[in-house]
Amino acid sequence: MAQSTLDSMPGASTGTVVVTEPLNFWGGKRVKPREEKNAEPVFEPATGRVLCQMVPCGAEEVDEAIQSAYAAYQKWSKMAGMERARVMLEAARIIRERREKIAKLEVINNGKSITEALVDIDIAWQSIEYYAGLAGTLAGQHIQLPGGAFAYTRREPLGVCVGIGAWNYPFQIASWKSAPALACGNAMVFKPSPMTPVTAVILAEIYKEAGVPDGLFCVVQGGAETGSLLCHHPKVAKVSFTGSVPTGKKVMEMSAKSVKQVTLELGGKSPLIIFKDCELENAVKGALMANFLTQGEVCCNGTRVFVQREIMPQFLEEVVKRTKAIPVGDPLLESTRMGALISKPHLEKVLGFVSQAKKEGARVLCGGDPFVPSDPKLKGGYFMSPCVLDNCRDDMTCVKEEIFGPVMSVLPFDTEEEVIQRANNTTFGLASGVFTRSVCHESALHTDWTCFINNYNISPVEVPFGGYKMSGFGRENGQVTIEYYSQLKTVVVEMGDVESLF
């Protein structure tokens, strides 16, 4: 049951876990892949060792999962919101109880520090708890019409929803998508990233243990091909996608063919604006939070750090001192603050951005190199030292493109008007941040999208999260997300005779 993979977790250390159980889940149980021939190795980022094999699902398996989800949807959608809420609350309770074990498995698969993974798992169960609270509140309107006639509206589920996830927050993404979907009475078939296949199936087992009908939350493994089978399937009503802009465009295009609803949570190149009247200590802490969580592999990171020229020297001195002091290493140690990047190719890509930045005239103030921890078992891991780049200009590659690694680009500015214009000058639109002691709601409103004031990268589940422009549309978390997983049905009732024009 849900304990299977987790059973090996309490004593587990980096470099010791191998996952052999099947990673697909539908019909209420783990399902072995039909054919092993396309198996791909999945690596533990901290050691470079093979953690498990990911076998992509083909058309028949995808169809089986969707049929199983559809059957569960027929039962689940007929239950009262309060009944669904009770099951979801039980799922949230089980996750809370097993948070350490799930977090450990997440670290082993993703490479982030255990301190962060614990927070991710907490945000995951909180999301399920939050939407359980909303499940019983779904209601419509009663509208009086002439002659005693009336109309009413009902909030109805969409049907089978598909969730497609990225690798940076595997368990959290699966929870953020399934929680509102299930609260509204839908079923979900979730496809994790092929690089992080191991924790979504734990969530599936927990939902089952909590009492959802068999098939309500299914997991199919695979990459682009499996994802595309899901987007094309005629029984799927909605696709909620988290990933890069190019893939998001393809998902939208495929979903358009059968007019499926789409939510797109895509990439970003967010600005963080630090005014000279800020509380510098907080601004420095904010800049670190905006750049180095999950080894910098965070969609909403504030990687363009605009600092008002007068405080640039003090800011740089402090931010560089603290960046150099970040403990990089074994992600399962409590003292570690930065773990390993997701894969060798990704590490090389991020290091390539640093080299390109140097060629274009940026100055490396610290980091930006491969890092080899002293522990011999970590020698094959994908580590790098966190990097601060100075002398940056708006036209540099490191300032324009999403790096998705621990690289902060610092840019000077003089006036508010100038910085707002520069901050908004991007095709992305996910997040922004402002540090100042003066009332700054004005600046917040001038940046074109979500804005954190005097903090960064906090995401309580009650608060909607999502993008503008090329960063996508639709929202996750918050009350509004109910609208993205339900549809409004109108019923009009005549109480008199029909007045026909014919």
Ligand X SMILES: C[N+](C)(C)CCCC=O
Ligand Y SMILES: NC(=O)c1ccc[n+]([C@@H]2O[C@H](COP(=O)([O-])OP(=O)(O)OC[C@H]3O[C@@H](n4cnc5c(N)ncnc54)[C@H](O)[C@@H]3O)[C@@H](O)[C@H]2O)c1
Binding site for ligand X (CB under 6 A): 168-169, 293, 298-300, 457, 459
**How many positions of this chain bind ligand Y (CB under 6 A)?**
28
Closer Cβ to ligand X, 292 or 383, answer by number: 292
Q: Minimum distance between the CB of residue 477 and ligand Y, rounded to whole angstroms?
A: 10
Enumerate long-range contacts of 91-94, CB under 8 Å, 24 or more apart.
91/125, 91/128, 91/206, 91/207, 91/209, 91/210, 91/212, 92/125, 92/126, 92/128, 92/129, 92/132, 93/125, 93/210, 94/2, 94/206, 94/209, 94/210
Amino acid identity, residue 216?
L
Q: Out of ligand Y, ligand X, none, which partner does residue 15 contact, by CB within 5 to 8 A per kind?
A: none
Q: Minimum distance between the CB of residue 428 and ligand X, rounded to whole angstroms?
A: 13
Amino acid identity, residue 86?
R
User: What Å distances lie between residue 250 and 59, 79, 232, 257, CA to CA?
Assistant: 19, 35, 11, 11
Answer whether 218's CB lies under 8 Å from 193's CB: no
Q: How many CB atoms lie within 10 A of CB 495?
A: 10
- Element containing residue 225 per DSSP (H, E): helix 224-232
Does 228 help bind ligand Y (rule: CB under 6 A)?
A: yes
Amino acid identity, residue 360?
E
Answer whether 486's CB lies under 8 Å from 158's CB: yes
Q: Out of ligand Y, ligand X, none, which partner does residue 434 contact, by CB within 5 to 8 A per kind?
A: none
Site string for ligand Y, 406-425 (x = CB under 6 A): --------------------
Which residues 255-314 are close enough to bind ligand Y by CB under 6 A? 265-268, 299
Q: Minimum distance between the CB of residue 300 and ligand X, rounded to whole angstroms?
A: 5
What value, to the nearest 5°, has the Cα angle with vertex 72 and ends 67 and 74? 100
Catalytic one among 61, 205, 265, 297?
Answer: 265
Does 38 help bind ligand Y (rule: CB under 6 A)?
A: no
Among 179, 203, 231, 347, binds ligand Y (CB under 6 A): 231
Whole-number Å distance between alpha carbons of 443 and 382: 38
Q: Out of ligand Y, ligand X, none, which partner does residue 457 contact, by CB within 5 to 8 A per kind?
A: ligand X
Q: Minimum distance between the CB of residue 182 and ligand Y, rounded to whole angstroms?
A: 19
Closer Cβ to ligand Y, 129 or 265, answer by number: 265
Q: Minimum distance between the CB of residue 242 and ligand X, rounded to whole angstroms?
A: 7
- Beta-bridge mates of residue 409: 304, 389
Among 194, 215, 367, 406, binds ligand Y (CB under 6 A): 194
Tell me whether residue 265 is one of the annotated catalytic residues: yes
**Rounded CA Rg of the chain:** 24
Which residues 418-477 are close enough to bind ligand Y by CB under 6 A? 430, 467
Q: Out of ligand X, ligand Y, none, which partner does residue 356 contact, by CB within 5 to 8 A per kind?
A: none
Q: Minimum distance between the CB of residue 491 and ligand X, rounded to whole angstroms?
A: 38
Q: Out of ligand Y, ligand X, none, which partner does residue 38 contact, by CB within 5 to 8 A per kind?
A: none
Q: Give residue 492's region: left, alpha or beta (phi > 0; psi -120 to 50).
A: beta
Active-site residue set: 265
Q: Which residues bind ligand Y (CB under 6 A)?
A: 164-168, 191, 193-194, 223-224, 227-228, 231, 242-244, 247, 250-251, 265-268, 299, 402, 404, 430, 467
